[in-house]
């Protein structure tokens, strides 16, 4: 059985993301487009439209063009929009990196993406320079003044001197990318615009090639549910380097004329203050923040009476928590959506008028098909039967960058994406995500690949074998814990510190268990689900 949307299909393949937003910016004129939360500095839509062209021309003047990749290593700031959309208008592809990542993690992403330019903030410039040199990046640009790097002012000056943006920023012949390449050529809807990193259902992070057609379709799909307009204001707490932040908290609002208030680093008090002070109407937040909105006493100190819609995304939200936040905000519509980086953020979504059934991740997006299949046989299942969720639609990625085998393992010949999530659809078309086949651990909506932490643990001289699994956590959804087989004496504290020094904070291990051996098949494949059951049973018995 195939589930589809009752909403009208969205238009596909007619424009690029930067053109969609630039056209909208031209219509909204002097309305505030972006507001820097800490300082209140405002970028109006007319300036945003101008800035996209200026950045495109400035980058082109410095040799950046079609087929090049620009990396942004910065927190949520208004400049994110102009730089990212300007790079796309110059014909390039944008990849965002977590501001909290380590130099090692940054080098790996820059090298894999083959980034030509790295844009960062002054405080990160020293590490950015070192990472850029190690990864072969041509130029580092700072959003301000920093020693040894190009200031953004030089880029804007070069762009302002250009009479017209490069021709390929407006119109040029079509380019069809293949899974595994970023083609050189002009900006067409088929060109790769965004390159977020995801571990898919397993393995190390991979570049997800999202074309302009993918991104524009996703923006229109999400907008059909959220129905944002120029009367709305939202606080962008989801990070822009993450597909949820970039699409739902930045691109969708800007295409609708909504005001986006940026929050560089999450802090509950600052978030509540900004939401109250700017009279936010729509809040798109991860589950841990939903939990705070439902239960934290600090919330009562702020006037959030103007909020109309609260949407959770990034990881499924339990029905009890969804009911709790709805009870605390009577009259506010509460819902959640579901998708993957590989679906340019969404496959299902809430409705602004009614939200979602508690525990449901909404209904299938427009122009999208969804199936539930038996993960062993591939047999299609009926309403109420639990199986793997498969998705097909215009938002599904072009493929993983230079990884054709991983692409083929994820998307079949008919275009169906295996999500690795287990769930079901009820008779009314509400989709529920119940568990997952994939190995990924979701920490506050961020992906943590067990393989990455396992490989790191195996570099410790005292570790002979290691496995990492997710343990349920009331605040973060899941947290990573390790099971280690030792070759020499070592204690938990040493291994926790060893990993913590080398990874982004959300990837840090929360506990280490020691074992004589790990459960594996005769071929050596780790029986991860069996191990997870053992660890959870042990944790329950010990109270840890």
First-to-last CA distance in the chain? 42
Q: Which residues pair with 234 in a beta bridge?
A: 260, 282
Query: How confident is the model at residue 182, as a pLDDT?
Result: 55
Kindly tell me if the per-residue pLDDT of 175 is higher than 50.
no
| CA 278 to chain centroid | 25
CATH architecture of 17-188: 3-Layer(aba) Sandwich (3.40)
Region 147-159: mean pLDDT is: 93
Kindly tell me if the per-residue pLDDT of 206 is higher than 90.
yes
Q: How confident is the model at residue 163 (pLDDT cuts 50, 70, 90)?
A: very low
Extended beta strands in 362-449, E state? 363-364, 369-373, 387-392, 399-400, 417-425, 431-436, 441-443, 446-448
pTM for the structure as a whole: 0.85
Q: How confident is the model at residue 477 (pLDDT cuts 50, 70, 90)?
A: confident
Continuous H helices in 62-115: 79-89, 103-113
Distance CA 399, CA 327 (A): 42
Q: How confident is the model at residue 543 (pLDDT cuts 50, 70, 90)?
A: low
Q: How confident is the model at residue 34 (pLDDT cuts 50, 70, 90)?
A: very high
Query: How confident is the model at residue 438, as a pLDDT?
Result: 74
Distance CA 512, CA 463 (A): 12
152-161 and 79-89 helices cross at what angle (nearest 10)?
A: 50
Distances from the Cα of 470 to the Cα of 71, 438, 478, angstroms:
30, 11, 6
Q: How confident is the model at residue 174 (pLDDT cuts 50, 70, 90)?
A: very low
User: No. of H helices and E strands in the chain?
Assistant: 16, 28
Query: How confident is the model at residue 524, as a pLDDT?
Result: 63
**What would the pLDDT profile of 215-258 be if each residue is shown by its tens digit?**
999 999 999 999 999 999 999 999 999 999 999 999 999 999 99
Q: Which residues pair with 424 in a beta bridge?
A: 432
Question: Among 40-49, 108-117, 319-328, whose mean pLDDT is lowest?
Answer: 319-328
Q: Which one is the CATH code of 366-436: 3.30.360.10, 2.30.38.10, 1.10.3720.10, 1.10.287.470?
A: 2.30.38.10
| CA 248 to chain centroid | 9
Higher pLDDT pick, 263 / 535: 263
Distances from the Cα of 534 to the Cα of 125, 216, 421, 471, 540, angstroms:
45, 44, 22, 11, 10
Distance CA 438, CA 422 (A): 9
Kindly tell me if the per-residue pLDDT of 143 is higher than 90.
yes
For residues 317 and 294, the answer to whether their CB atoms sit within 8 Å is no
Kindly tell me if the per-residue pLDDT of 168 is higher than 50.
no
For residues 21 and 88, the answer to whether their CB atoms sit within 8 Å is no
| CA 505 to chain centroid | 17
Q: How confident is the model at residue 201 (pLDDT cuts 50, 70, 90)?
A: low
Q: How confident is the model at residue 190 (pLDDT cuts 50, 70, 90)?
A: very high
Query: How confident is the model at residue 535, as a pLDDT?
Result: 81
109, with CB counted inside 10 A (0-12, 13-18, 19+), is buried
Question: Residue length, the chain?
Answer: 544
Q: Which one is the CATH code of 441-542: 3.40.50.300, 3.30.300.30, 1.10.3720.10, 3.30.565.10?
A: 3.30.300.30
Kindly tell me if the per-residue pLDDT of 98 is higher than 50.
yes
Question: Among 79-93, 313-327, 338-352, whose mean pLDDT is lowest?
Answer: 313-327
Q: How confident is the model at residue 191 (pLDDT cuts 50, 70, 90)?
A: very high
331 backbone φψ class: left, alpha, beta (φ>0; ψ -120 to 50): left
Please choose, from the candidates 508, 506, 502, 510, the residue with its C-alpha nearest in 3D space to the C-alpha of residue 108.
502
Region 450-455: mean pLDDT is: 85
Domain extent listing, the chain: 17-188, 366-436, 441-542
Query: How confident is the model at residue 542, as a pLDDT?
Result: 63
Question: Among 181-195, 288-302, 338-352, whose mean pLDDT is lowest?
Answer: 181-195
Tokens encoding 131: 């990472």
């Amino acid at each position: 059985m195939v589930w589809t949307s009752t909403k009208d299909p969205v238009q596909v393949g007619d424009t690029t993301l930067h053109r969609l937003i630039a056209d909208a910016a031209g219509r909204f004129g002097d309305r505030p487009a972006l507001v820097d939360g800490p300082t209140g500095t405002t970028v109006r839509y007319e300036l945003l439209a101008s800035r996209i062209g200026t950045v495109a021309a400035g980058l082109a003047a410095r040799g950046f063009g079609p087929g090049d990749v620009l990396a942004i290593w910065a927190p949520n700031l208004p400049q994110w929009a102009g730089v990212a959309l300007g790079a796309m208008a110059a014909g390039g592809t944008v990849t965002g990196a977590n501001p909290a990542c380590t130099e090692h993690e940054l080098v790996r992403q820059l090298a894999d993406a083959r980034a030509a330019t790295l844009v960062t903030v002054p405080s990160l410039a020293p590490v950015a320079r070192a990472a850029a040199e190690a990864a072969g990046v041509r130029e580092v640009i700072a959003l301000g003044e920093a020693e040894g790097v190009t200031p953004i002012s030089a880029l804007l000056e070069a762009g302002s001197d250009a009479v017209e943006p490069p021709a390929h920023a407006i119109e040029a012949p079509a380019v069809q990318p293949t899974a595994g390449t970023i083609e050189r050529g002009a900006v067409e809807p088929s060109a790769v615009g965004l390159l977020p990193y995801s571990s898919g259902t397993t393995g190390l992070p991979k570049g997800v090639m999202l074309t302009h057609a993918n991104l524009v379709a996703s923006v229109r799909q999400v907008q059909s549910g959220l129905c944002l307009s120029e009367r709305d204001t939202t606080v962008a707490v989801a990070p822009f380097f993450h597909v949820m932040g970039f699409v739902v908290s930045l691109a969708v609002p800007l295409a609708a004329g909504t005001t986006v208030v940026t929050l560089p680093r999450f802090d509950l008090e600052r978030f509540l203050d900004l939401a109250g002070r700017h009279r936010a109407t729509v809040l798109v937040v991860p589950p841990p923040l939903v939990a705070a909105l439902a239960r934290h006493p600090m919330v009562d100190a702020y006037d959030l009476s103007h909020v109309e819609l609260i949407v959770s995304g990034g990881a499924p939200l339990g029905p009890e928590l969804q009911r709790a936040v709805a009870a605390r905000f009577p009259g506010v519509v509460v819902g959640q959506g579901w998708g993957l980086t590989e679906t340019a953020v969404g496959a299902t979504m809430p409705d602004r008028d009614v939200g979602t059934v508690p525990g449901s991740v909404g209904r299938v997006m427009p122009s999208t098909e969804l199936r539930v299949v038996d993960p062993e046989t591939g047999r299609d299942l009926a309403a109420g039967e639990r199986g793997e969720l498969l998705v097909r639609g215009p938002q599904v990625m072009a493929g993983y960058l230079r990884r054709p085998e991983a692409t083929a393992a994820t998307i079949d010949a008919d275009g169906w994406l295996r999500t690795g999530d287990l769930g079901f659809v009820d008779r009314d078309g509400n989709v529920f995500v119940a568990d997952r086949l994939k190995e990924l651990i979701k920490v506050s909506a961020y992906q943590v690949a067990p393989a990455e932490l396992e490989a790191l643990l195996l570099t410790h001289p005292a570790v002979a074998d290691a496995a990492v699994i997710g343990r349920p956590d009331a605040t973060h959804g899941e947290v990573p814990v390790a099971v280690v087989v030792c070759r020499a004496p070592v204690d938990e504290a040493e291994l926790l510190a060893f990993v913590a020094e080398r990874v982004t904070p959300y990837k840090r291990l929360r506990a280490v268990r020691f074992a004589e051996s790990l459960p594996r098949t005769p071929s050596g494949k780790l029986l991860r689900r069996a191990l997870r059951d053992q660890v959870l049973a042990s944790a329950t018995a010990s109270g840890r």
